[in-house]
Amino acid sequence: MVQNSKKIIVIGGPTASGKSDLAVSLALWIKKNRKKFGVSGAEIISADSRQVYKGFDIGSGKITKEETRGVRHWMLDIASPKRTFTAHDYMIAGNRALKEIFKNNNVPVICGGTGFYIDSLIYSPFIPEVPPQRELREELERLSVEELYLRLEKIDKRRAENIDIKNKRRLIRAVEVTETLGGPIPETGKTLMYPTLIMGVKTDKDELKNKIHKRLVKRINAGMIDEVLNLHRKKGVSWKRLEELGLEYRWTARYLRGKTDLEEMKKNLEKEIIHYAKRQVTWFKREKGIIWTENFREAKKETKDFFRV
């Protein structure tokens, strides 16, 4: 049972599926129909674990000022990449954003592929604050990513489904939290905090692979390699930290350090992004209330029905 009459829209799905553009189009359409829906407009909350970091723009696919088309976005560029921004940090900051959006009489549109982050905003609080466990961390640092993943999977299969399996930092933190709690992070029982429309962007597997390939080529051509180099040289982000932040940043950092050549970097990176997208799809398919949409027209229809309730 929902606890508040305020309403939230979620647009989730795998990377490269077109979530950001759909969210902006929907937000502008809601503003156009604001009188009909009884709101002032809509604002977007990003649910992406790397777009929170300043300077992580091209590699993370962060929406540009032009692409926002004037729609206000939250949870972008709010943390230093030199320090870890935890899921608990996201939950606290994200809920502040929700309150501000409701205060403005706008509809929050939560958009992203990090299902764990989305859950933290729409369901009753479930991410406990677990301080760093120094001795445990020292033990976990000595393990490989494969060993860490198996350790996490034994404790919390649900969390293991939505994590970058090559990201050692996140694996260590996930194991640290679950082992400190003595078990998996407790589920909420799916108690929504507000009436919520959860939509997933449906994409054909082959079409998604093609989009991932084209997007990666576009990012490289747009200067992704220079972005990572500048983060290290000018912003002081260590190579180790860049590798910890996964996918584009891990493989580009390896390339810049001479650990791989450009073609091998592209090949392995694309392969890992595809695997990550599959895990994202698995996560969202577990969401019983999700409505899969293929385009803006279908998203508008679902939104109309949602506001009639």
The total number of residues written for the chain in this structure: 309
What are the tokens at 176?
Answer: 């640290």
User: How high is the mean pLDDT of the chain?
Assistant: 91
Q: Rounded to whole angstroms, how far apart are CA atoms 105 and 195?
A: 15
Cβ distance 184 to 154 under 8 Å? no
Q: How confident is the model at residue 4 (pLDDT cuts 50, 70, 90)?
A: very low
Question: At which residue do the structure tokens 């992580």 appear?
Answer: 56
| C-alpha dihedral, 60 to 61 to 63 to 65, nearest 10° | 90
Query: Residues 255-269: what's their mean pLDDT?
Result: 97
**What pTM does this model have?**
0.83
Query: Residues 198-223: what's their mean pLDDT?
Result: 96
Residue type, 64: T
Residue 147: pLDDT over 70: yes
Bridge partners (DSSP) of residue 199 are 11, 291
Predicted pLDDT of residue 240 = 93
- CATH of 205-278 among 3.30.70, 1.10.287, 3.30.460, 1.10.3470: 1.10.287
* Domain spans, the chain: 129-185, 205-278
Q: What is the pLDDT of residues 217-240, one digit of tens each?
A: 999 999 999 999 999 999 999 999
Predicted pLDDT of residue 131 = 79
Q: How confident is the model at residue 54 (pLDDT cuts 50, 70, 90)?
A: very high
Q: Rounded to whole angstroms, how far apart are CA atoms 297 and 25?
A: 10
Q: Is 69 helix (H, G, I), strand (E, B) or coil?
A: coil
Show Cβ contacts of residue 2 under 8 Å, excluding neighbours closer than 6 positions.
Answer: 192, 193, 194, 195, 196
| DSSP string of 172-237, one letter each residue | HHHHHHHHHHTSSPPP--S-BSS-EEEEEE---HHHHHHHHHHHHHHHHHHTHHHHHHHHHHTS--
What are the tokens at 155?
Answer: 């404790």
Predicted pLDDT of residue 100 = 97
